[in-house]
Amino acid sequence: MKVYKILHKPTGLFFTPSRGSGNFSTGGKVYSKMPRLEWAYGSSARVVVKTWGGQKPSKKNQILIDYFKIEPHKDSYWLDTYFPTKEEDWEIIEL
């Protein structure tokens, strides 16, 4: 049986439907049928990065901070917003 994921090529992270933690994850969602790229880039991708004062960002959050050029607020990150992405940034991969 073929299964698929949607990869964001610039970051190496996978698309996951947003349920409070944004559209990017290290594991992503596994689809049993061929997904549509429009699900990932259709309007914008939700990015959520939250750290408390002085806390080091996780590896995933650091990738998002670097790619989307997110600036800290004082000594922490507290962001839940949407960034536009392009169709060519996404790729459907077969596992």
Task: Note the pLDDT of residue 13.
Answer: 97
**Which residue segment(s) compose the domain that 49 sits in?**
4-94
Q: Which residue has the tokens 């996951």?
A: 16
Distance of CA 18 to the CA centre of its chain: 9
**Rounded CA separation 21/59 (Å):** 15
pLDDT tens digits, 17-64: 977 889 999 999 999 999 998 888 876 899 999 998 778 999 999 999
**Rounded CA separation 44/55 (Å):** 28
The count of structural domains within the chain is 1
Joined tokens for residue 31: 């689809």
> Among 23, 49, 21, which residue's Cα sits nearest to residue 38?
23
Are 7 and 14 in contact by the 8 Å Cβ rule? The answer is: yes
pLDDT tens digits, 4-23: 999 999 999 999 997 788 99
